[in-house]
Amino acid sequence: MHIIPAIDLIDGKCVRLTEGDYTQKKVYNEDPLEVAKEFEAHGIRRLHLVDLDGARAKHIVNHRVLERIATQTSLRIDFGGGLKSDEDVRIAFESGARQVTGGTVAVKEPERFLGWLQQYGPERIILGADFKDGKIAVSGWQEQSELELFAFLEDYIQKGVQYSICTDISKDGRLEGTALELYKDIIARFPGLKLIASGGVTAIGEVEALREAGCYGAIIGKAIYEGKIRLEDLIERG
């Protein structure tokens, strides 16, 4: 299983929100590049970079930060937040993203999302499935849709999606544990999906549980920044 630390960006700074609430913001570092270099120094190979400004503005904003990290580290970056147009995706890839994540666009403009899947290939496009109470949420988690999580995943898997980041909004940033049982259900139902778990990872034991459940990757954010999980412990487990 891939260990994927997260850096969330507001005003070019490394921050974390609680349950996607922009009023519950905590700045952890003024320079995200410093954070990324620390991850790399501990043997981390991947990074989940989220443009929260972009999610709110509905277009890419922090691509210069992406470019700095991509050019000054060897991290394999997946980038999301605010990718709503073909131009946004082009900028993200040209700025150094190895993969991009589309969530809101997959709900509101499925033909556009499928166009990206066809143009760039399923290895480079990740389906963002942010959910609360079993329903998909969009627009930086500011809107709740009526789409059921499992139906949403099934539809896109049938259309060629191979990767999905599934984030339980109710757990994100709360340090209260992951949606482990739900992830097990997703893996059982869609065994070919490369499922990346996100939200609520609090302790190293939960990382192990996600690995044992068969998750392709686990995104870890606040637990690292708050010292609940040491980078050294993550590397000891590969």
Please give the domain boundaries of the chain with CATH numbers for all domains.
2-236 (3.20.20.70)
Is 11 labeled as catalytic in the residue annotation?
A: no
Maximum alpha-carbon separation in the chain: 43
Could you tell me the sign of the dihedral formed by the alpha carbons of 168, 169, 171, 173, in that order? positive
pLDDT one-digit tens code per residue, 52-86: 999 889 999 999 999 999 999 999 999 999 899 99
Q: Which of 78, 130, 168, 172 is catalytic?
A: 130
Enumerate residues 6+ apart whose C-beta is below 8 A from 16. Answer: 8, 25, 26, 28, 173, 221, 222, 225
pLDDT, one tens digit for every residue, the chain (238 residues): 999 999 999 999 999 887 677 888 899 999 999 999 999 999 999 999 999 999 889 999 999 999 999 999 999 999 999 899 999 999 999 999 999 999 989 999 999 999 999 999 999 999 999 998 889 987 655 667 789 999 999 999 999 999 999 998 876 666 778 999 999 999 999 999 999 999 889 999 999 999 999 999 999 999 999 999 999 999 755 4
Distances (CA, A) of 52 to 3, 81, 133, 160, 191: 21, 6, 22, 27, 31
What pTM was computed for the model?
0.93
Q: How far is it, in rounded angstroms, from Cα 39 to Cα 97?
A: 17
Give me the pLDDT at residue 194, please. 98
Give me the pLDDT at residue 155, please. 98
- DSSP assignment, residue 82? S
Q: Which amino acid would we find at residue 106?
A: A
Distances (CA, A) of 185 to 57, 190, 192, 209: 34, 8, 13, 14
SS3 1: coil
Q: Which of 8, 78, 88, 172 is catalytic?
A: 8
What is the enclosing helix (H) or strand (E) of 194? Answer: strand 194-198
Is 78 labeled as catalytic in the residue annotation?
A: no
Distances (CA, A) of 217 to 24, 28, 46, 183, 210: 26, 23, 10, 11, 8
